[in-house]
């Protein structure tokens, strides 16, 4: 049975970059095209990468991002 995660962002690679992440990337901050924080990477394989949404991470840590 596949694992189930709620409130997770799943990223899949594209034709030019089939793998979005690689081993050892857990804990990486993922940014969008405008360089805004999207999520914290926690898992991935050859097909997909999973991120915790940055708002949830910051809430749990009682933290905020500064620029």
54 within some domain: yes
Query: What 3-state DSSP class applies to 58?
Result: helix
**Residue 54, pLDDT score:** 97
36 within some domain: yes
pLDDT at 1 over 60: no
pLDDT at 2 over 70: no
Residue 18, domain extent:
9-61
41 within some domain: yes
Q: How confident is the model at residue 32 (pLDDT cuts 50, 70, 90)?
A: very high
Sign of CA dihedral 47, 57, 26, 32: positive
Its pTM stands at 0.83
37 within some domain: yes
What residues form DSSP beta bridges with 30? 39
Structurally, the chain folds into a number of domains equal to: 1
């Amino acid at each position: 049975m596949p694992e189930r995660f709620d409130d997770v962002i799943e990223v899949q690679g594209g034709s030019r970059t089939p793998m979005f992440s690689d081993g050892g990337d857990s804990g990486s901050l993922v940014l969008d095209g405008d360089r805004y924080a999207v999520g914290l990477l926690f898992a991935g394989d050859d097909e997909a990468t999973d991120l915790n949404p940055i708002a949830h991470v910051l809430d749990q840590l009682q933290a905020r991002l500064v620029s």
